[in-house]
DNA sequence: CGTTGTGTTGATATTAATCAACAAGTGTGG
DNA sequence: CCACACTTGTTGATTAATATCAACACAACG
């Protein structure tokens, strides 16, 4: 089956799943605007004259710990994360902080109502991003009606995720929150199923849980601020899950999920 | 200035504000599909043949306490609330409940990713609503590119509201939560400023706070489940605000906001 | 080799939840 | 009209979950 092309020779695919970033992409060639191989809105410009839109994106590298979007500032530009992870957070005047999410490659930030950013964004590690000015974005949207539908789909997904987080923060216990968080992180990474066992196979199949490894790019403080807890409670809850053999912690940033079923039940509030 | 018309003689206006429902409407004539004078998506069908779309909407009356949308069910239809208020909630298997919002006239429900409703909806009082089948909605969207932009704007607003609620649930105290809630309810209703005092006026102007009345259509249980608290804590917090002369409670469902400034500071987490 | 950032663990405090009683309002039926 | 059940809201006593305060372990780094 032939892939659609954008007239410049490279294949274009678009797909989106719940809780995963929309990827409007992009064969093997680097993006003509940002010179990156990562998915980009640039690639959505099928059949358009890319040169006309060349000033649409300003590629930028952002060092760790840099705040590149400030809550309340005029939302001059949309930001597309190309590489790295950012924490998105809101703050109260006395310093209390609440993360509203983490943004990885492919995420769009800054589609804000009332022209103001509703959260701040800070690079967790080095981040590579593209900025799109609001006026350019509006022009692009006018040219590409399909794009608006994709954005709607994405924002609807983010809304559903936010409402899931509202349930978590309003009604779940610390254990349930952490289990939910770990499973969500696990779902982000491509799941590598274990090798199939020899078949046909003598004797009953051993019942063994799949083990999934999760690497956490964020600190305990981030996790705490995301789950509405303190850093100490997060640490203690990790310890409790470890003691119950639900997880293993070879390193603080590496979690092995030893009992996916049990963890999933816990995350769903079933015990 | 001439109003745009939809070809059938009645004027059409569209406006939306943060936290307030989008209203795509509608002079003085009742909606041709739903025979209601309330704002409706039907009214967005400017210049289209209404008869062609006559089966788009199925007007319905829903009695109080009826659940008309169930979390997890296939999202067969979009629902537009015409009249009355509904609670939108998610549940955990052991009965814990979290409201994700209240939906009043003009609100759309059911724009869900993955084709499943992400929350349940239950009428607080009698509710009048229109259902739009998903396929019809898709056809309408194909016909009316402008509609998609409006939906995007709305969903982006809802997302910002949800993230505000995440901050509330994750980091605010009971007092701050209730203050935030009361101010948000106050902002829903058209604010009636006090009569201007005679001018020119002798003597210094008396410094007096504006007093705003808020009527709550929902129960304490709803407020508790919305704010991530228990019914007792909500009741006690009402009592505490009353004792501090920040509010008055002539009746349980009627709140007078006696110190808007102080309440706003409290809601913002400033003390 | 100290310094700093991050994570863990222990002791105690505090907020809000839980358990319990009761008051006020509403509707029903005798 | 009143007795009764039932719902909703309030208030008090106690408990439990999590926050706060504090100490310390460990790795990374200049």
**Which residues in 162-221 of chain A line strand C, with CB less than 7 A from it?**
219-221
pLDDT for A46 beyond 50: no
- Residues 6+ away with beta carbon under 8 Å from A52: none
Number of neighbours of residue B213 by Cβ within 10 angstroms: 13
| Residue A71 confidence (pLDDT) | 96
In the DSSP assignment, the letter for residue B121 is: E
Q: Edge-to-edge strands of the sheet including A86-91?
A: A67-69, A120-123, A86-91, A97-103
Nucleotides of D under 7 A from a protein CB: 8-13, 17-22
How far off is chain A from B76, nearest CA to CA, in Å?
A: 16
Q: Which helix (H) or strand (E) holds B91?
A: strand B86-91
Beta strands A97-103; A86-91: pairing state: antiparallel
Chain B residue at shortest CA distance from A224: B170
pTM of the model: 0.82
φ and ψ at residue B113, rounded to 5 degrees: -75, 160
- Residues 6+ away with beta carbon under 8 Å from A225: A89, A97, A98, A99, B170
The answer to whether A59 faces chain B, any CB pair under 8 Å, is: no
Q: Each residue of A12-34: pLDDT tens digit? A: 223 333 333 333 333 444 443 33
| Residue A257 confidence (pLDDT) | 96
The answer to whether A143 faces chain B, any CB pair under 8 Å, is: no
| Residue A247 confidence (pLDDT) | 97
Chain A residue at shortest CA distance from B88: A163
Nucleotides of C under 7 A from a protein CB: 6-11, 15-20
Number of neighbours of residue B118 by Cβ within 10 angstroms: 24
Which single residue is written with the structure tokens 């998903």? Answer: B134
How far off is chain B from A37, nearest CA to CA, in Å?
A: 28
CB-CB neighbors (< 8 A) of A92 in chain B: 167, 171-172, 268-269
| Residue B27 confidence (pLDDT) | 42
Q: Each residue of A131-156: pLDDT tens digit? A: 888 887 787 777 777 778 888 888 99
Which single residue is written with the structure tokens 């993006």? Answer: A31
In the DSSP assignment, the letter for residue B199 is: S
CB B40, CB B56: distance < 8 Å: no
In the DSSP assignment, the letter for residue B187 is: H
CB A144, CB A44: distance < 8 Å: yes
| Residue B82 confidence (pLDDT) | 83
The answer to whether B228 faces chain A, any CB pair under 8 Å, is: yes
| Residue B193 confidence (pLDDT) | 57
Q: Which two structure tokens, joined as six digits, stand for B93?
A: 């298997």
How far off is chain A from B211, nearest CA to CA, in Å?
A: 26
pLDDT category, A206, cuts 50, 70, 90? low
Q: What is the mean pLDDT of residues A200-219?
A: 75
| Residue B36 confidence (pLDDT) | 42
How far off is chain A from B40, nearest CA to CA, in Å?
A: 20
* Low-confidence stretches of chain B (pLDDT beneath 50): 1-55, 198
CB B37, CB B31: distance < 8 Å: yes
Residues forming beta bridges with residue B97, ordered by sequence position: B91
Please indicate whether, in this complex, the C-beta atoms of A100 and B171 are within 8 angstroms of each other: no
| Residue A197 confidence (pLDDT) | 53
- A50 burial via Cβ count (<10 Å: 0-12, 13-18, 19+): middle
In angstroms, the CA A83 to CA A104 distance is: 7
Query: Residue B230 CB closer than 7 angstroms to strand C?
Result: yes
In angstroms, the CA B63 to CA B37 distance is: 20
In angstroms, the CA A171 to CA A268 distance is: 11
CB A77, CB A131: distance < 8 Å: yes
CB-CB neighbors (< 8 A) of B93 in chain A: 268-270
In angstroms, the CA B108 to CA B106 distance is: 7
In angstroms, the CA B24 to CA B106 distance is: 9
CB B105, CB B82: distance < 8 Å: yes
Please indicate whether, in this complex, the C-beta atoms of B164 and A90 are within 8 angstroms of each other: yes
| Residue B111 confidence (pLDDT) | 84
CB-CB neighbors (< 8 A) of B158 in chain A: 159
Q: Which two structure tokens, joined as six digits, stand for B239?
A: 């009592």
Mutate to test the interface with B, among A75, A90, A113, A154 (most CBs of B within 10 A): A113
CB B66, CB B128: distance < 8 Å: no
- The three state secondary structure string of chain A is CCCCECCCCCEEEEECCCCCCCEEEECCCCCCCCCCCCCCHHHHCCCCCHHHHHHHEEEEEECCCCEEECCCCECCEEEEEEECCEEEEEECCCCCEEEEEEECCCCEECCCHHHECCCEEEECCCEEEEEEEHHHHHHHHHHCHHHHHHHHHHHHHHHHHHHHHHHHHHHCCHHHHHHHHHHHHHHHCCCCCCCCCCCCCCCCCCCCCCCEEEECCCCHHHHHHHHCCCHHHHHHHHHHHHHCCCEEEEECCEEEECCHHHHHHHHCCCC
| Residue A201 confidence (pLDDT) | 54
The answer to whether B112 faces chain A, any CB pair under 8 Å, is: yes
Mutate to test the interface with B, among A109, A144, A156 (most CBs of B within 10 A): A156
pLDDT for A260 beyond 70: yes
Nearest to B156 among A113, A141, A172 (CB): A113
CB A87, CB A81: distance < 8 Å: no
| Residue A5 confidence (pLDDT) | 38
- A241 burial via Cβ count (<10 Å: 0-12, 13-18, 19+): buried
| Residue B196 confidence (pLDDT) | 52
| Residue B10 confidence (pLDDT) | 30
pLDDT for A107 beyond 90: no
């Amino acid at each position: 089956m032939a892939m659609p092309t954008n007239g410049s020779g490279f294949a274009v695919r678009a797909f989106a799943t719940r809780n995963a970033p929309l990827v409007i992409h992009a064969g093997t060639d680097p993006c003509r605007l940002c010179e990156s191989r990562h998915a980009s809105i640039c690639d959505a410009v099928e059949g358009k004259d890319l040169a006309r839109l060349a000033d649409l994106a300003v590629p930028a590298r952002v060092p760790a710990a840099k705040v590149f979007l400030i809550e309340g500032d005029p939302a001059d530009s949309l930001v597309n994360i190309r590489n790295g992870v950012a924490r998105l957070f809101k703050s109260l005047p006395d310093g209390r902080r609440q993360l509203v999410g983490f943004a990885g490659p492919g995420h769009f930030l800054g589609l804000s109502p009332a022209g103001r950013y509703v959260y701040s964004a800070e690079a967790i590690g080095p981040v590579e991003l593209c900025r799109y000015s609001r006026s350019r974005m509006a022009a692009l949207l006018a040219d590409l009606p399909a794009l608006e539908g994709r954005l709607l789909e994405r924002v609807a997904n983010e809304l559903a995720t936010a409402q899931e987080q509202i349930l978590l923060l309003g009604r779940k216990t610390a254990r349930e929150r952490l289990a939910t968080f770990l499973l969500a992180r696990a779902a982000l990474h491509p799941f590598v199923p274990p090798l199939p066992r020899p078949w046909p196979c003598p004797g009953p199949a051993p019942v063994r849980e799949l083990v999934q490894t999760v690497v956490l790019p964020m600190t305990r403080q981030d996790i705490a601020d995301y789950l509405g807890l303190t850093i100490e409670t997060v640490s203690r809850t990790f310890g409790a899950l470890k003691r119950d053999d639900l997880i293993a912690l070879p390193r603080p940033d590496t979690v092995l999920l030893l009992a996916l079923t049990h963890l999933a039940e816990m995350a769903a509030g079933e015990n």
